[in-house]
Amino acid sequence: MASSTNTQNAEPLRRDDSTVLSRIADNPWPAARWVAVMGVLVLLELGALLGGFLNVVEALLIAVTGLAEVTVGLVSSSLAAGILGFQQSAASTLSGLRADTEGIPTLLSRDVIPNQGYQPGGTGAWEGPFLGLEPAYAWALRLVLVLAYALVLSYWLFRGWLVFREHYRQMEWSPTDDVVDKLRTHRWGQFGIVILVLFLTMGLFGPAMGPTTVEQNILSPYTEDSRIEYYNAESGSVETVFAGEANFNAKSIGSQDSNVGPMTYDDYGRFHPFGTLTNGRDLFTFMMGGARISLIVTGIAIGLGTLLAGGLAMVSAFYRGSIDLGVLTLADGIVSVPRLLLLIMVSAVFANTWLGNILDGGFLLAVVFGLTIWPFLWRAVRGPALQVAQEAWVDAAKSFGQQPSIIMRKHMFPYIMGYLLIYASMSAGGIIISLSALSFLGNGLGISPPTPAWGRAVSLGQGLVSGPSWHISFIPGAMIVLLVTGMNAFGDGIRDAIDPESDTGEGGETTAAGGGG
């Protein structure tokens, strides 16, 4: 390792035209070690990773084609129909692929570590769960393993960057190093990153983390696949029942004799870590299912908003004058429209159209959120953008005739990206809350039932908070608070990391303030 660093110092230019690949070929060991571990990690969960990846691809595909369809639809409806056709065929291909990936064995799946089962005879060893453990322990084992796997995988990805930085990067030092090094000592920011990773894990690996599946427990509880076996104490034998029927007898509706609280079993030997909903469905599974849609919608909304805000901030800072004024007027116009009314209107207008059905209504919400949140981000980022547009290096680039678009991308964007990340992470919290609030209001707003959404759980349990079924509202609410806190912590961490004065421990508290919806 030492010798490799030496060669780099002595002959930095011999390799200046080399690609990363040729540098890896020169000194393959660090990369090989990293790839070996990464390979093992990926193989362990190949099916789930591919499935998650396809999920993301599908969401992106829908987002991009959906936007293109709406834009093109303004000009020509036949072209729009063509795009729609492409979208539908591509989406169905992706769904097919995703179904195939479910066939790939993964280590941390409910097939390998099952947790559903029954006790033949009512006591003793369990039939079904992993190693005959109690369902609670089997489920907890799987959950812990999945979470640990996600954290290790994230760390290993970061580790890959470290390996690149130490062995294969031509620069010995870059400004990013300082940011990363500061984040490595920033506990609050790290807390935010861990929370984010945990919630992303819920989005990606959600199906493996719940004690049962969304399909069996929530979406189609009365199909043949949704039968469960349980020990019937009255008849003293093992019987089968539809999950839906079991749910019917496992409702939490606020009375002592009809409540399945957190960390308890219901009459059918099913373990409910977070208890059940008013309709008897498993709250934990519901939450995991909700994580996916919430994160996808938030991601699309904040991505769109950030893109618009960053682009327009640079344009208005670079050209200033009437263009700046134009953007300002547009932003003020958008801010003046009450978002809730707009959401209600858009939901009503597009109800039962194909656009309103993408992601169970979530896509439309994401677009509306993205288009209405950018003025706030734009205002926050315009200041830093104006500042960097005044730097002499921007003048220098103009003086040799660099194109404005490249000036903005190379000379301005790196300086406002940090601010964008901060404000985006903080506004994301606001979007999650608003999204939950919409689901809470119900009546055609928010994500259409029965697809799980966090806000709906809060809404279902709101009348029962003071009784034994307090968990229905409280736990999803607390999860939302945790995620939003994590996002804010992440934003704080980034803010401190990009601020060169932050390591003095004083000042630097002025760049950003928290923000909700």
Partner 1 sequence: MSKVTERTQTEGGRETLVSVENLKKYYGGEGMFADPPVKAVDDVSFEIRRGETFGLVGESGSGKSTLGRTLVQLERATEGRVLFDGRDVTTLSGDELKQWRRNAQMVFQDPESSLNDRMTIGEIIMEPLSAHGWKTKQDRRERALELLSEVGLQEEHYYRYPHQFSGGQRQRIGIARALALEPEFVVLDEPVSALDVSVQAKIITLLEDLQAEFDLTYLFIAHDLSVIRHICDRVAVMYLGKIMELGETGELFESPANPYTQSLLSAIPRPDPTADRQRITLPGTPPSPRDPPVGCQFSTRCPAKIYPEEYDDLSDDVWDAIERFREVVRERSRQELGLVDQARLRLGLFSKYDDIDEAVADLFGGLDAPEAVTDAIESAREQVKAGNPDAAREALFDEFNGICDRERPVLQGVSDSGQQSYCHRHAPEYEPPETVLQRRSDDE
Residues that bind partner 1 in the complex, under the rule CB under 8 A: 9, 12-13, 16-17, 170-175, 391-393, 395-403, 406, 410-411, 414-415
Q: Which structure tokens are listed for 457? A: 């759980």
Name the minimum Å distance from CB 69 to partner 1.
36
Name the minimum Å distance from CB 409 to partner 1.
12
Return the closest-CA partner of residue 118 out of 108, 132, 107, 138: 132
Name the minimum Å distance from CB 399 to partner 1.
5
Name the minimum Å distance from CB 417 to partner 1.
10
Name the minimum Å distance from CB 495 to partner 1.
18
Q: How far apart are CA 70 and CA 32, in angstroms?
A: 47
Q: How far apart are CA 135 and CA 139, in angstroms?
A: 6
Query: Cβ closer to partner 1: 128 or 310?
Result: 310
**Amino acid found at 4:** S
Query: Cβ closer to partner 1: 123 or 400?
Result: 400
Stretch (H or E) spanning 253: none
Phi/psi of residue 182, each to 5°? -70, -40
Query: Cβ closer to partner 1: 331 or 386?
Result: 386
Contacts of 140 (CB under 8 A, 6+ apart): none
Query: Cβ closer to partner 1: 391 or 501?
Result: 391
Reduce the DSSP state of residue 285 to 3 states and report it: helix
Q: How far apart are CA 45 and CA 38, in angstroms?
A: 11
Contacts of 365 (CB under 8 A, 6+ apart): 297, 301, 343, 347, 435, 438, 446, 447
Cα 402–Cα 406–Cα 412 angle in degrees, nearest 5: 110
Q: Which structure tokens are listed for 15? A: 């390799």
Are 104 and 50 a contacting pair, CB within 8 Å? yes
Query: Cβ closer to partner 1: 86 or 164?
Result: 164
Query: Cβ closer to partner 1: 355 or 389?
Result: 389
Query: Cβ closer to partner 1: 12 or 121?
Result: 12
Stretch (H or E) spanning 241: strand 237-242
Name the minimum Å distance from CB 393 to partner 1.
4
Q: How far apart are CA 187 and CA 489, in angstroms?
A: 9
Are 87 and 66 a contacting pair, CB within 8 Å? yes
Count Cα atoms within 13 angstroms, Cβ side, for 124. 5
Q: How far apart are CA 397 and CA 98, in angstroms?
A: 48
Name the minimum Å distance from CB 416 to partner 1.
12
DSSP 8-state class, residue 131: G
Name the minimum Å distance from CB 9 to partner 1.
8
Q: Which structure tokens are listed for 415? A: 């300086």
Q: Which structure tokens are listed for 301? A: 């909304």
Query: Cβ closer to partner 1: 13 or 74?
Result: 13
Name the minimum Å distance from CB 26 to partner 1.
16
Q: How far apart are CA 309 and CA 371, in angstroms?
A: 10
Query: Cβ closer to partner 1: 111 or 177?
Result: 177
DSSP 8-state class, residue 448: P
Query: Cβ closer to partner 1: 15 or 159?
Result: 15
Name the minimum Å distance from CB 397 to partner 1.
7
